[in-house]
Structure 1
Amino acid sequence: MESWVVWLVVAALLGIAEIFTLTFVLGLLAAAALAAGLAGALGLPFAAQVAVFAIGSVAGLAVVRPIAHRHITRPPPLRSGTAALVGREALTLTEVNRRGGRALIGGEEWTARPYDPDLVIPADAVADVLAIEGATALLYPVSSSNEGQP
């Protein structure tokens, strides 16, 4: 069997192993083995193929992996402004219907409307903030009972 075929088999096995481990190391080694297989297919001697594999492995592990690891472990972006209010709980201060109402969100008073225009959310009810449109919070009641239905 020719050496380039062996490199391709090694690359395939390393690629399959990467799928199960998700370490990104075996995937880089698979890419290096693929490059060595390409070198073998071009007719380079076995020593040159090993050198291509070694250089590809070192370059991948020393350069590519730290960059990829940094991107994977980056914390989620901080939400600020009105985007930070989405997903929070609100306490309705007045009845909230399609014409409007008032709600307390994060210690601040906001104008509010129900997310579903057919809902009516009574005063002193807890609701989730689903979106912010301009200066108006779109709310949906937390309770799953018929409370707030027209």
Structure 2
Amino acid sequence: MDGFATSLAGIEDWAWIGWLVLIALFLVIEMLTLDFTFLMLAFGSVVGLVTDLVGVPIWAQVIIAAVAAAAFILFLRPPLLHRLRRGEDPTKSNVAALIDLRGIALHDITQVTGQVKLSNGDTWTARSADGTPIFEGSRVAVSEISGATAIVRPVTE
């Protein structure tokens, strides 16, 4: 039992190195993921390091660091994410920008085939959303995109 106590004392003497390694590891992972989860774990590890420097036993350091990391994830991370994302460009892009876009049927559109020219200038193969035929020259709106095909519905405006 004396050997176990000696090794535990050795671990407690060098625990600060473990905390520094965890902090560095979590910060590197955070730089790769950029979602603030590992940053909060790094903050919890800083709390663990501080408790080690104060002289708290290793088992308590781990518990305190885990509770601190959980508190940071639950209470600090959501407002940080909100502040980060409030400046995002609300403009739709890619496929999302095509939904509800208007156009004109270039050829008759059925459940199987058709072609439409959208108001953004793109020409797409098209299918009818509900299976009813849409005749050439009719106004349409994009309901969804399926692969390289626009699923369209007639509009009356």
State the TM-score, normalized to the length of structure 2.
0.45
State the TM-score, normalized to the length of structure 1.
0.47
